[in-house]
Amino acid sequence: MRQIILDTETTGLEPSEGHRIIEIGCVELINRRPSNNRYQQYIDPGREIDRGAMEVHGITNAMLAGKPAFADIAKDLLEFIKDAELIIHNAPFDLGFLNNEFSLMANGTAPSRVEDFCSVVDTLKLARGMHPGQKNDLNSLCRRYNVDNSQRTLHGALLDAEILADVYLAMTGGQTGLFEETHSHLRNATASNVVAPTDIRRFDPNRPKLPVIPASAEELAAHQAWLDELDKKSGGKCVWKKIEVAS
H or E element at residue 123:
helix 123-130
Q: Residues 6 or more apart from 244 whose CB is under 8 A from it? A: 227
Contact by Cβ (8 Å): 193, 73: yes
Q: Residues 6 or more apart from 44 whose CB is under 8 A from it? A: 22, 64, 65, 66, 67, 68, 69
Phi, psi of 195 (to 5 degrees): -105, 130
State yes or no: is 19 an active-site residue.
no
Contact by Cβ (8 Å): 19, 226: no
Contact by Cβ (8 Å): 85, 183: no
For residues 79 and 112, give the distance between their C-alpha atoms in angstroms, rounded to a whole number: 16
Of the residues 89, 155, 185, 223, only one is catalytic, namely 155
- Of 124, 117, 186, which is closest to residue 156 (Cα–Cα)? 186
| Amino acid making up residue 197 | P
User: What is the maximum span of the chain, computed from C-alpha positions, in angstroms?
Assistant: 64
What residues act catalytically? Answer: 155
